[in-house]
């Protein structure tokens, strides 16, 4: 699974495209399903997706102000995976499963990542050291 880039969209404001992130997410999910299929338990599959696929979907997005439609689209990609995994389209059942397995959707992960990013940036007193933290040097 390859990730590590963010597609920036040309325009008046700094924005990014989530299309490539969603495509990479689906590719990584299919790779996991291709390897473990239905042999692994839901718990194992969710842990693999949480550690390998969700980071692919959310990589670098904490730096951008995403539109509500983009965030909903990211959440929808995760919810569709959960619907496939649990074999249901009932959103209440999906939410119960998410609670039971402590599985966050993309908007929740991004909220935590954004808070950590902002804390790190706010803690920087020295601009030179700050850029070193974020790998800009």
Domain ranges across the chain? 7-133
Residue 6: what are its φ and ψ, rounded to 5°? -125, 135
Q: Say yes or no to pLDDT of 32 above 90.
A: yes
Q: Say yes or no to pLDDT of 29 above 70.
A: yes
Work out the number of other CB atoms within 10 angstroms of the CB of residue 112.
Answer: 12
Work out the number of other CB atoms within 10 angstroms of the CB of residue 74.
Answer: 24
- Residue 137: the pLDDT is 44
Work out the number of other CB atoms within 10 angstroms of the CB of residue 95.
Answer: 13
Residue 127: what are its φ and ψ, rounded to 5°? -60, -40
For residues 97 and 120, give the distance between their C-alpha atoms in angstroms, rounded to a whole number: 33
Report pLDDT digits (tens) over 55-108. 999 988 888 888 899 999 999 999 999 999 999 999 999 999 999 999 999 999
C-beta separation of 6 from 60 below 8 A: yes
15: helix, coil or strand? strand
pTM: 0.79
- Residue 129: the pLDDT is 59
- Residue 2: the pLDDT is 41
- Residue 102: the pLDDT is 95
């Amino acid at each position: 699974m390859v990730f590590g880039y963010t597609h920036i969209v040309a325009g008046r404001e700094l924005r990014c495209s989530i299309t490539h992130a969603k495509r990479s997410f689906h590719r990584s999910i299919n790779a996991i399903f291709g390897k473990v299929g239905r042999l692994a338990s839901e718990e194992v599959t969710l842990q693999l997706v949480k550690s390998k696929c969700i980071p692919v979907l959310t990589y670098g997005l904490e730096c951008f102000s995403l539109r509500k439609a983009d965030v909903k689209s990211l959440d929808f990609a995760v919810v569709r995976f959960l619907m496939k995994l649990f074999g249901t389209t009932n959103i209440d059942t999906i939410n119960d499963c998410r609670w039971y397995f402590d599985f966050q959707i993309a908007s929740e992960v991004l909220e935590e990542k954004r808070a950590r990013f902002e804390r790190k940036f706010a803690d920087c007193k020295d601009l030179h050291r700050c850029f070193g933290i974020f790998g800009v040097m």
